[in-house]
Amino acid sequence: MIGLLASLAYLIPLTGGLILFKLDERKADAVMLASFISALVAQLGVAYLFLTEHHEVIHIPYITTERLGEAYGIIIDPMSVLIGTVVSLAGFIFMFYGVEYMSERNVGHPGGKGRGLFYAWMTLFEGATLGFIYSSTFLGLLIFFELMGLACWGVVSYYNTPEARRAGFKAFIIPNVGAMIGFYTAIGIGITQLHDLSLFSLAHVAPSIKPWLFIALLFAGYTKSAQFPTYSWIPDAMEAPTPASAFLHGAAMVEMGVYLVARVLQFIGDLPIWIFYFMAIMVSLTLLIPILNYPVQKDAKRLLAYSTVAEAGVMFVGLTFAALGLDVGLKAAMFQLTTHAFIKGLAFLTAGTFTYSLGTLDLRRISGLKDILPVNGFSWALALLGLAGLPPMGIAFSKAELLTDLVALKITGLAWLPIIMVLTDSVVFLWVGMKWIGRNVFGKPSVKKAPTHWIINASLIALIILTLISAILAYPLVEEITFYGVGA
């Protein structure tokens, strides 16, 4: 039963997405919401059954052959259940908000007709992401990785402006290069040496090859997660409608690069210490990029885009420690992914209300939100303070999980470098965030009145609540996440 529900969680939105290419307006609204709700219900069923009846790793091979071994299957375990629930819940809230955002009442981007195409790409995006999360083989991961890339291209280029077309092409090509390097290498080794494409076969890779296979897959994760040196596609992807920006930053595209590397680390076994040194230097260079860019950003979504580069970097700091064999790093990365999904979703949907209600994303033109849009003003302040790492937002506790268990320092002094960069990023973002909160929320009102809608406010309130309680809800599953290795 649990395997059927897990499969339905991604098959339903994949099917709904294909149907939506032929629909528009109210029919499209209904099919899109039904697809997201059905996926959420199926995923919640998986979470309930796993927490109440199953506590072991559930591995279901669906397609096996003599030459390829396991070609396709699913894994249901604490990591996939946790992240699958995050994606399905956040995705539903983002697209519930999207029904109003894509309407003709949007001041900055009046919608209405044509939104069925956007819904189609977003619903496919959801299904591909959930399929990726549950996949137990590199062939399955590659297929869903590419489907995510295609859907990302569709939503980023949706407005069909020259800037949107360029950004969509870039968002497709850069991660696709990573996929070719990482997944083709893994599948090639699986076919020629292991005769098995499953993640479980990773532990049997020859020691001389294993570090280089990991580096190839790490590069695939870096391109997906907009890490140095492949980060430039993510600020440009802000051409997408805001619900898509929230999804690809908060619950899908960027996070799946982190998820991929976490999955590989779970199964690959011991790695040489130079892998840690390489990852520590790369993540530190990544964190330097947003630190330098925060102070000069004037566009709300671009500010949040650079924050995404940093927050994904924080997740990779956890994975850097996990490369030393420390499962606390694995836990911290998935904890950060979970709490970040809701706070970043809140930040993006609030920025979307600037377009919807005020017709601008220019932070210099937004002032006095506490008087004209009080819910938006509160959510903007909460989101910026949360992204800086301040409690009581859940993301403060996921960062604390990383920064308070410093076992890595006993192994190598270089572990200080990424930790210092994480703290520096938080300080700089807090400084910039406080500046904009003072102006945007508490300044003199820039307009006398601004339109809003109950769907907009309900979505923001739901995310505010989840931002505050996500750490509590996620922690039991986070604590169950660990390495598997040969004996899994």
| DSSP characters over 361-430 | -BGGG---HHHH-HHHHHHHHHHHHHHTT-TTSHHHHHHHHHHH--GGGGT-GGGHHHHHHHHHHHHHHH
Per-residue pLDDT averaged across 329-350, rounded? 96
Q: Does residue 410 surpass a pLDDT of 90?
A: no
Tell me which range, 33-47, 391-405, 437-451, is most confidently predicted by mean pLDDT.
33-47
Domain membership of residue 392 as a residue range = 2-487
Tell me the average pLDDT across 136-153: 95
Mean pLDDT to the nearest integer, 287-312: 96
* Cβ(220)–Cβ(257) below 8 Å: yes
Task: Count how many domains the chain has.
Answer: 1
Residue 405's pLDDT band, with cuts at 50, 70 and 90, is low
**Which residue in 291, 306, 287 sits closest to 427, CA to CA?**
291
In the predicted structure, residue 216 carries a pLDDT above the cut 90? yes
Lowest mean pLDDT among 233-242, 366-375, 423-432: 233-242
